[in-house]
Amino acid sequence: MTGPFDSASKSPERIGVYVCHCGTNIAGVVDVAEVRDWTEKRLKGRGVIIARDYKFMCSSLGQEMIEKDIQKLGLTRVVVAACSPHLHEQTFRNACQRGGLNPYLSELVSIREQVSWVHTDKHAATDKAKAVVSGGVERVIKNEPLEPLRVPINEATLVVGGGIAGIQAALEIADAGFPVYLVEREPSIGGHMAQFDKTFPTLDCAACILTPRMVSAGTHRHITLMTWSEVENVSGYVGNFTVTIRKRARYVNTELCTGCGICQEKCPKKVIDQIYEAGMGYRKAVYTPFPQAVPRYPVIDKPNCTYFSKGTCKACEKFCPTNAIDFNQQDELITVQVGNIILATGYDLFNARRIPHYGYGRLANVYTNLEFERLSNAAGPTNGEIVLRDGKTKPKSVGIIHCVGSRDRNYNNYCSAICCMQSLKFAHLVHERTGATVYNFYIDIRTTAKAYDEFYQRVLEEGTLFVRGRVAEVTDAARKPEEEGRLIIQVEDTLAGKQRRIPVDMVILSAGLEPRKDAKETAKLFGISCSADGWYIEKHPKLDPVATMTEGIFIAGCNTGPKDIPNTVSQGAAAAARVLGRIQQKEIFIEPVRASVNQDKCSGCRICNNLCPFNAISFIEDRKVTEINAALCQGCGTCVAACPAGAISGTVFSNEQVLSQIDGLLMLNLEYMKEAPELVAV
């Protein structure tokens, strides 16, 4: 710890201070010239030998000004008062480097985001700007020259999630010739897209466009596919992650299995398929989720298998022509080394049971969107026949309710982005296949991407009816004879300005998209951040949408928020491009924000030992001192703050830097002026 501010000592540094106007962004509120004059006069004794102001410090002329001053005036420290360090810290560090000064001997302090943009009183804002500059000057004096850490990049990449985003990302990287581990929790890759029938707005068959991609991913020589597997542990850092993957026992020897499907035929145990068929159809206890599954090997669902629960059966084993069934198989833990990780973990559907007045789960003919996808799918439980739950009656009228669980402050405020187009697609399919009357109950129609609005016009022309208003209730309580035995949709038609009761035979709820139930645990496992909802947070929502705050971990697809297929695929490809860029660099530079232990000072109290979530701190038993592994340290500084002996120091945010900045911000550094009274009267 430093003591009280030492007014007697003058800083030996030669500091240059540059105050930016940012056009009128700063200069409109802060009197930039006054800040410059004040700095030059009042902080002279602290080593400020030059203070300048300039219209745009980040422009090439502004940067050259710094470079020239470093060379001509021999500056040893640089302070720029401009925008947030998150915007231009690197810019000015680079300028210092070009001028011949170690980049970490500069400091960017924010007088835009933290002063001119948030304050209106010009006098007070100018005073605060002076304090902020003063804080920066004191801090920069304590800065140390540092070198960024060079980290070699392992060429392999882990892709988590085998939906279309993960498949796209894996293929892009593998096609470039680098190894990929593609990990999927379910028995097959394909994700939600494999469940769909048609894709809007072109009405391509989902399986027809997805299956070739799945096959490519399954057979690619650079892709190691691990389905029925989950990531258990992640350690390490960008370039050098060590990942432990639990490959669950399939009870099928994939070396011997040919995927002939006889086991599935012979298995006597039928199970309702809650995942792939969305509860609409059955599968066996030994199964592949769908015929085009990749890989084609089945898995035995242990909790539902008769042999595992009762000890007899083994029908699959008896009939398997290649003796591939192996009831003794155990889970395997596989450890892989990768340089980068792409998370493409997808979404869960909003649980429509949470809105009891829409009757899902209580009224038989209320379907969710995913159920309807299976119902309309030619490979689905009804072979694509759109029929009611009785399995034979075709509906004469169908109501599609938009925004179920989305744009609703009781559930989710956000728009789920895909429901409008999906509902229009359903309307088209119902119309085409049954000729039924279709009602869409919507709040707003949002058809913003390419060819989307044209599709909307087409559905309008087909005669689908649109009622604007949020549905109040779906009920089977008839009030009139024509409502008997039907579902009645109670809605306020906000365009007609009246309440309506519309009887229909089938209701489809366009349930919104939600983060995966375990999204937060996954975020924790990989050390990335997610919003309160559970959506993952991008490094920058606009400019860096597939990177995260954690170096080396990228995100793609619906885990950052609802997306349609084109956007999801773009993100998969974008994440792959980011990873490929990294791999091609062969090594990357990371910020040298790291903690280290002065072992002469360390008392071996071990207070810090349990504080590190990255396991960077270890205790050396024979010498009774603590050690920090710089490669594992992420630079949070918690141990630095905790060390009672002051034996741990942290670069870039050292105690000296922070304490000096406090002095500067509180203008204690002006105390020295007592020695130079001629300068006090500014």
Identify which range of 67-75, 131-139, 458-466, 619-627 contacts another protein by CB under 8 A: 131-139
Distance of CA 550 to the CA centre of its chain: 10
The least CB distance from residue 84 to another protein, in Å, is 5
Dig out the tokens for 467 from the structure. Answer: 């009622």
How far, in Å, CA of 682 to CA of 678, rounded? Answer: 9
In this structure, what are the phi and psi dihedrals at residue 372, rounded to the nearest 5 degrees? -70, -35
How far, in Å, CA of 106 to CA of 17, rounded? Answer: 10
The least CB distance from residue 474 to another protein, in Å, is 35
Among residues 37, 40, 113, 483, the one that binds another protein under rule CB under 8 A: 113
C-alpha to C-alpha distances, 29 to 23, 35, 116, 347, 666, nearest whole angstrom: 11, 12, 5, 46, 21
424 binds another protein (CB under 8 A): no
3 binds another protein (CB under 8 A): yes
Q: Based on CB atoms, which residue is closest to another protein, 152 or 613?
A: 613
Q: Based on CB atoms, which residue is closest to another protein, 179 or 527?
A: 527
Among residues 32, 48, 75, 115, the one that binds another protein under rule CB under 8 A: 115
Binding mask 586-625 for another protein (x = CB under 8 A): -------x-------------x---x-xx-----------
Q: Based on CB atoms, which residue is closest to another protein, 26 or 180?
A: 26
Contact 363, 474 (CB under 8 A): yes
> In 447-554, which residue ranges form alpha helices assigned H by DSSP?
452-461, 519-526
The least CB distance from residue 129 to another protein, in Å, is 9
Q: Is 655 left (phi over 0), alpha (psi -120 to 50) or beta?
A: alpha
Among residues 4, 12, 311, 391, the one that binds another protein under rule CB under 8 A: 4
Q: Based on CB atoms, which residue is closest to another protein, 5 or 441?
A: 5
How far, in Å, CA of 135 to CA of 250, rounded? Answer: 62
Binding mask 134-153 for another protein (x = CB under 8 A): -x------------------
Among residues 39, 91, 110, 559, the one that binds another protein under rule CB under 8 A: 110
Helix axes 164-175, 206-219, angle to 10 degrees: 40
With a CB cutoff of 8 Å and minimum separation 6, the contacts of 436 are: 394, 395, 396, 397, 398, 430, 505, 506
The least CB distance from residue 596 to another protein, in Å, is 15
Dig out the tokens for 343 from the structure. Answer: 């998370």
Written as one letter, the residue type at 463 is G
Site size for another protein (CB under 8 A) = 68
> In 142-205, which residue ranges form alpha helices assigned H by DSSP?
164-175
Binding mask 568-587 for another protein (x = CB under 8 A): --------------------
Identify which range of 56-64, 112-120, 203-211, 491-499 contacts another protein by CB under 8 A: 112-120
- Binders of another protein among residues 622 to 661 (CB under 8 A) are 634-638, 640-644, 650, 652-653, 655, 658-659, 661
- Binders of another protein among residues 60 to 89 (CB under 8 A) are 84-86
Binding mask 530-569 for another protein (x = CB under 8 A): xxx----x-----------xx-------------------
Q: How many helices (H) and strands (E) does the chain have?
A: 16, 34
Among residues 117, 327, 452, 619, the one that binds another protein under rule CB under 8 A: 117
For residue 24, the SS3 value is coil
121 binds another protein (CB under 8 A): yes
Contact 546, 578 (CB under 8 A): yes
Distance of CA 392 to the CA centre of its chain: 44
The number of residues making up the chain comes to 682
**Whole-number CA gyration radius for the chain:** 32
- DSSP percent split of the chain into helix, strand, coil, nearest 5: 35, 25, 45
Neighbours of 61 (CB within 10 A): 11
Query: Strands 506-511 and 366-368: what pairing?
Result: parallel
Binding mask 484-523 for another protein (x = CB under 8 A): ------------------------------------x---
Counting Cα atoms < 13 Å in the Cβ hemisphere of 295 gives: 24
Contact 52, 81 (CB under 8 A): no
Q: Based on CB atoms, which residue is closest to another protein, 388 or 605?
A: 605
Closest CA to 404 of 387, 419, 424, 393: 419
663 binds another protein (CB under 8 A): yes
The least CB distance from residue 512 to another protein, in Å, is 20
How far, in Å, CA of 470 to CA of 30, rounded? Answer: 49
Identify which range of 196-204, 285-293, 358-366, 666-674 contacts another protein by CB under 8 A: 666-674
680 binds another protein (CB under 8 A): yes
406 binds another protein (CB under 8 A): no
Q: Based on CB atoms, which residue is closest to another protein, 494 or 615?
A: 615
The least CB distance from residue 4 to another protein, in Å, is 5
Positions that interact with another protein (CB under 8 A)? 1, 3-5, 7, 84-86, 110, 112-115, 117-121, 124-125, 127-128, 131-132, 135, 520, 524, 527, 529-532, 537, 549-550, 593, 607, 611, 613-614, 634-638, 640-644, 650, 652-653, 655, 658-659, 661-663, 665-668, 670-671, 673-674, 680
